[in-house]
């Protein structure tokens, strides 16, 4: 044994000793950020993760569970008294009950604390008593996430970019006509502002229904109690050469700034500033199915959101993340149960390529990142069928709309992700090589077995990456 080894051994023991002291004083809290646009799969992910952490029979890849060191996992009152509790029981009952269905789209923020009693790992583990670790998770409507990108923009820039981007979209025609007919230098009048905001909101709803991701301001889609208030009564307008006082443009600009200050900042300050681990859920398959325009839109929206994690990008955000950094970021393509597992590597390659830009920036900020494909709640089984003399790898499930059982082949994803991402970037109108489809399957409804959570794909590997080292 060399001198180095001895010294190493000593410092490690000292670290252990001081760890023990800290743990006696504090119960460590891991705050997991579950990030994703609307319909990405956040609520399903949180519900299934919690269920599978409480009953760990389907979590072999979560090392502390496999080692039998998690003694119990139980729900506790959440730490923030003013935030509603995540309705875990209702969501789980909806998905695993006798008439299985997916949870409703989320309309407000909620929070959950899951606490673990764990036996420490390592040589001295027998000498140390079990410790408590808390996992805090927040759920929120995905629409609100996009607003993170607004913090960087002033009204003139946001307006110009938005008007340019939506110009080719048919559902924007009515709003753009209104804009054409508007004199932005004229004196401000509330009915005109209201009309513009309503027409713009109608466009946002139509765009989202058509699979577009970039639908800001997010609260226009889900206003809640702010409905009709001035912070939600503005719209993008072209930049006039002069902006007289009391003009429509000036007041719209003021409201845009108020929206950022009164709506966007408080949300991110309250819910994003303390995050240590982050999972970014992306419905890649849904976007591929919607078309090249929607895939490119999704890529760009995610890149914008994630660039918020780059230090120095914006004074407010730098302040927000100051002194803390997200240590691990997992990029996950959700709903992978729509594909036979033979196609999962291709799906993973696509999300990896899509997130490259964002991932490099996060890596720059020192985070450990990983990409994978998963299904938080597996709704299908795999099969192979003969079709026109070929064997097709299909998935089987119950269709959500008709309750009929169906075998389904979604199309073959290319081995090289640029086969999809390049035409999307270049503005292609449809996919050349293949036709992609996504079916909406209902949750399977098979009763949960004792000691097991709902079926999933790779949720245990996701959990190991995100929190395995903390347990």
Contact set for Mg ion, span 83-122 (CB under 5 A):
106
User: What is the smallest separation between the CB atom of 50 and ligand GTP, expressed in angstroms?
Assistant: 13
Among the listed ranges 39-47, 73-81, 109-117, 277-285, the one in contact with Mg ion (CB under 5 A) is 39-47
Interaction site with ligand GTP (CB under 6 A): 36, 38-44, 102-103, 105-106, 141-142, 334-335, 337-338, 375-377, 379, 440-441
35, 43, 52, 278: residue in contact with Mg ion (rule CB under 5 A): 43
User: What is the smallest separation between the CB atom of 107 and Mg ion, expressed in angstroms?
Assistant: 9
Residue (43 or 247) nearer to ligand GTP, CB = 43
Contact partner at residue 40 from Mg ion, ligand GTP, none, CB < 5 to 8 Å by partner kind = ligand GTP
Residue (205 or 342) nearer to Mg ion, CB = 205
Name residue, tokens 């998690």. 70
Contact partner at residue 44 from ligand GTP, Mg ion, none, CB < 5 to 8 Å by partner kind = ligand GTP
Among the listed ranges 43-51, 340-348, 354-362, 381-389, the one in contact with Mg ion (CB under 5 A) is 43-51
User: What is the smallest separation between the CB atom of 174 and ligand GTP, expressed in angstroms?
Assistant: 25
Residue (105 or 381) nearer to ligand GTP, CB = 105
Under the binding rule (CB under 5 A), the answer on residue 78 touching Mg ion is: no
Residue (38 or 369) nearer to Mg ion, CB = 38
Return d(Cα 113, Cα 77) in angstroms, integer.
7
User: What is the smallest separation between the CB atom of 35 and ligand GTP, expressed in angstroms?
Assistant: 9
User: What is the smallest separation between the CB atom of 14 and ligand GTP, expressed in angstroms?
Assistant: 44
Residue (43 or 213) nearer to ligand GTP, CB = 43
User: What is the smallest separation between the CB atom of 302 and Mg ion, expressed in angstroms?
Assistant: 17
Return d(Cα 222, Cα 378) in angstroms, integer.
29
Strands 328-333 and 110-118: unpaired
Under the binding rule (CB under 5 A), the answer on residue 334 touching Mg ion is: no
User: What is the smallest separation between the CB atom of 43 and Mg ion, expressed in angstroms?
Assistant: 3
Residue 395 near residue 411, CB atoms below 8 Å: no
Under the binding rule (CB under 5 A), the answer on residue 278 touching Mg ion is: no
Contact partner at residue 471 from Mg ion, ligand GTP, none, CB < 5 to 8 Å by partner kind = none
Length, in residues, of the chain = 471
Contact partner at residue 36 from ligand GTP, Mg ion, none, CB < 5 to 8 Å by partner kind = ligand GTP
Among the listed ranges 40-48, 167-175, 260-268, 318-326, the one in contact with Mg ion (CB under 5 A) is 40-48
Return d(Cα 116, Cα 70) in angstroms, integer.
7
Residue (42 or 260) nearer to Mg ion, CB = 42
User: What is the smallest separation between the CB atom of 207 and ligand GTP, expressed in angstroms?
Assistant: 15
User: What is the smallest separation between the CB atom of 47 and Mg ion, expressed in angstroms?
Assistant: 10
Residue numbers at the binding site for Mg ion (CB under 5 A)? 42-43, 106
């Amino acid at each position: 044994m060399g001198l180095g080894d001895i010294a190493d051994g000593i410092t490690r023991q000292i670290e252990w000793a001081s760890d023990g002291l800290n743990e006696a004083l504090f119960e460590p809290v891991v705050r997991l950020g579950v990030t994703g646009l609307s319909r990405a799969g956040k609520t399903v992910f949180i519900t299934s993760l919690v269920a599978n952490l409480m009953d760990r029979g389907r979590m072999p890849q979560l090392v502390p569970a496999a080692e039998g060191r998690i003694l119990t996992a139980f729900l506790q009152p959440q730490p923030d008294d003013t935030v509603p509790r995540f309705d875990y029981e209702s969501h789980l009952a909806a998905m695993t009950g006798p008439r299985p269905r997916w949870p409703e789209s989320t309309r407000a923020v909620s929070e959950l604390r899951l606490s673990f009693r764990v036996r420490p790992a390592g040589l001295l583990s027998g000498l140390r008593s079990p410790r408590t670790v808390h996992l805090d998770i927040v759920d929120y409507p995905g629409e609100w996430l996009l607003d993170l990108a607004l913090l960087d923009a002033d009204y003139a820039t946001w307006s110009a970019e938005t008007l340019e981007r939506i110009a080719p979209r048919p559902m924007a025609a009515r709003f753009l006509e209104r804009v054409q007919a508007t004199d932005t230098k004229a004196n401000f009048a509330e009915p005109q502002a209201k009309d513009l905001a309503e027409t713009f909101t109608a466009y946002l709803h139509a765009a989202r229904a058509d699979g577009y991701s970039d639908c800001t301001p997010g609260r226009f889609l889900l206003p809640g109690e702010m409905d009709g208030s001035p912070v939600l009564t503005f719209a993008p307008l072209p930049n006039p050469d002069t902006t007289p006082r009391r003009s429509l443009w000036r007041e719209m600009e003021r409201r845009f700034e108020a929206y950022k200050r009164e709506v966007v900042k408080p949300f991110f300050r309250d819910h994003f500033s303390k995050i240590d681990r982050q999972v970014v859920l992306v419905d890649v398959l849904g976007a591929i199915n919607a078309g090249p325009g929607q895939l490119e839109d999704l890529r760009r929206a995610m890149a914008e959101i994630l660039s918020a994690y780059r230090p120095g990008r914006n004074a407010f955000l730098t302040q927000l993340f100051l002194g803390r950094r997200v240590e691990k970021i997992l990029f996950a393509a959700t709903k992978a149960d729509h594909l036979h597992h033979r196609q999962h590597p291709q799906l993973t390659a696509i999300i990896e390529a899509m997130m490259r830009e964002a991932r490099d920036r996060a890596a720059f900020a020192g985070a450990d990142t990983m990409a994978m494909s998963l299904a938080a709640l597996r709704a299908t089984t795999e099969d192979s069928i003969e079709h026109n003399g070929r064997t097709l790898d299909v998935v089987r499930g119950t269709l959500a709309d008709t309750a009929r059982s169906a075998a389904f082949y979604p199309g073959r994803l290319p081995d090289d992700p640029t086969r999809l991402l390049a035409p999307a970037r270049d503005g292609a109108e449809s996919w050349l090589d293949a036709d992609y489809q996504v079916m909406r399957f209902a949750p399977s409804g098979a009763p949960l077995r004792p000691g097991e959570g709902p079926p999933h794909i790779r949720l245990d590997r996701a959990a190991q990456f995100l929190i395995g080292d903390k347990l």
